Amino acid sequence: MKIMEKITEECKEAVQNAVKQLYKTKETNAIPRVETNIGQNRKADASCSIAFQLSRELKKSPVEIAEEIAKNIKPSETIEKVSALAGFVNFTFSQKYYQIALNENQKEDIKKSGKETEKTKKEKTKQKVIIEYSCPNVGKPLHIGHIRGTIFGHALKKIREQDGDHVVSFNYLGDSGSQVAKLLLALEIYKNLPVIKTEKDLLAYYVKINAEIEQSEELQKRQREILEAIENGDKKIQASLDKVRKLSITAFDNSYDLLGVKFDEVIGESAFIQDGRKVVQEAIEKKIAFKDKGGEIVAKLEPELPNTILTRSNGTTLYLTRDLALADYKFSKYKPSESVNITGSEQNTHFRQVYAILQKLGRNYNNRHIGFGLLTFEGKKLATREGKVILLADIIEEAKQEAKEQIMQREPSLKGKELEERSLAIGLAALKFAVLKVSQEKNIVFNFKQMTSFEGDTGAYLQYSLVRCKSILHKASEENALEEKNIGKSKKQKHEEQYTFNSEEKELLLLLSAFPVVVHNASKSLAPHILCDYLLKTAAAFSKFYSLHSVLNAEDEKTKTQRLEIVKATANVLENGLNLLGITTLEKM
């Protein structure tokens, strides 16, 4: 267990014991909430609000209760002071706490350590979770809705893994719609498909065949036949379906490579048509669904949710029907403790319906859906191309160009490959952070200039903060090497007496010690923005510390050593945090 978790437990226990000793109340065995105050204007390091809870039963004011509790708790090795303020029991951590926090974050292995609570140790086995994201449609480029999900899903996967879960990343391709039938038709009439490498090629090709089909009734008829053949699992069609699926995946992979995204399983909707039909049969037998006048099979969900069609009158399945079979597939194959679907918020009702039907069918699945708000663009070229698809490649290019402008202003001498690489890294960081810092239900308006800025709440600002830490460490090690050469031995010596951390150092160290807790919260609440917010606070606390206190020119050797360790700990945390968001870190900026 890491120090912040330990101390939170210690505070809780102390409060609980005090309550037990002081009062006879129902709340005696309730576990009090203790919150550590990271990155805020702090009056204390941690606070407990139990007095407000007890007030009514004890018929006493919270102020009085908090004072009694605080007086009853003795300081310890890591808790320096317990006081009461406005009804809160406040804890001030000791110098020892900060020393431990510092040592803890020196270790390289903070990368590997998931949150090791006593509970997970006892359980031993990792929790398995399926995270489904991206899910584009075969034959069409990733659209904006997919892009937000792709970035988000990837970060969530990394965060959950760091927190100790076993994650299966799952990509569910739409491969049974009319656009797929069109591509299959193209395969028939053109015989040979052109080379398709990127999403742009795919789009050009789709536009071409689409125009031809619109002109010809005969082709339209054939398209319908193909669609039926897909529905019926026709063997001949399967082979062609495979081919267009592969073509699309090659194009998608280009974008995924750029984003650094990988999937453990990629499977198309068409694989769930037949099983979808079986689920519909089961639904009819279980009287969850009925045949309506028009011949459609309808699932009964009213009044909680709108009823929904499971099969059309001609027997064909729908998007929703296939999702029922997909859930069965996932839960029987992986037996996850949790399964997450990530899409745009326009699918919120869809997933509520899917989960409700599964529940009525008696499936005991733990499903969660994340539905995003819209992603739109402010000003600039991308927004003016009305009606046209906005490609991920275009967005990345735009972010890269904007990043390049910022870099060239700061470092006009930078050229060639290095400039290109750095622009891309900063552009991608900008894009990812702009998506991840916003909580899921909110809309996002992209402004490329703001996003790529080195100041403010951006990916570039975090990358830059890390570069600053690294350059301090680099300078220190150069100086150290020089000194060693001159004196012939390292000046480094063990400092026996304890170092006294100042308030900026404490603020920063408190944040650093909160890293595993923050990762755990972000993981369990499926909310990478919690981590984003934390990293911004950490970078700000570092900046404050560094602007007020010299590191390399610290007043004495002992102070310098400690401060260098603080810088190193900050670098470790920033690096790990950015990594979890899927953001590349840089050596120079």
CB of 330 to ligand ARG, least distance (A): 9
CA distance 392 to 249: 15
Residue 263 tokens, joined? 């999937």
**CA atoms 507, 512, 517, 521: torsion sign:** positive
CB neighbours of 368 closer than 8 A, spacing ≥ 6?
338, 339, 340, 341, 526
3 state SS of 550: coil
The DSSP result for 446-494, as a single string, is E-HHHHT-SSSSSHHHHHHHHHHHHHHHHHHHHHHHHHHHHHSS-----
One-letter amino acid at 113 equals: S
CB of 150 to ligand ARG, least distance (A): 11
Residue 130 tokens, joined? 């399926």
User: Which single residue is written with the structure tokens 């804890």?
Assistant: 91
**CB-nearer residue toward ligand ARG: 347 or 523:** 347
Residue 66 tokens, joined? 């908090």
**CB-nearer residue toward ligand ARG: 305 or 554:** 305
Q: Are 139 and 183 in contact (CB under 8 A)?
A: yes
**CB-nearer residue toward ligand ARG: 219 or 266:** 266
The closest residue (CB) to ligand ARG is: 174
Cα-Cα end-to-end distance for the chain: 36
CB of 344 to ligand ARG, least distance (A): 7
Cis peptide leading into 303, omega within 30 of 0?
A: yes
CB of 499 to ligand ARG, least distance (A): 53
**CB-nearer residue toward ligand ARG: 11 or 251:** 251
**CB-nearer residue toward ligand ARG: 32 or 344:** 344
Return the H-helix or E-strand segment holding 266.
strand 265-268
The DSSP result for 93-128, as a single string, is E-HHHHHHHHHHTT-GGGTT-----HHHHHH-SPPE
CB of 1 to ligand ARG, least distance (A): 37
**CB-nearer residue toward ligand ARG: 135 or 209:** 135
CB of 441 to ligand ARG, least distance (A): 18
CB of 145 to ligand ARG, least distance (A): 7
Residue 417 tokens, joined? 């490959």
**CB-nearer residue toward ligand ARG: 150 or 585:** 150
**CB-nearer residue toward ligand ARG: 270 or 576:** 270
Pairing assessment for the beta strands 265-268 and 128-132 based on DSSP bridges: unpaired
| 34-36: strand order across its sheet | 34-36, 46-48, 88-93, 79-85
Residue 490 tokens, joined? 């390292």
Residues near ligand ARG (CB under 6 A) are 132, 135, 137, 172, 174, 323, 326, 341, 343
CB of 264 to ligand ARG, least distance (A): 16
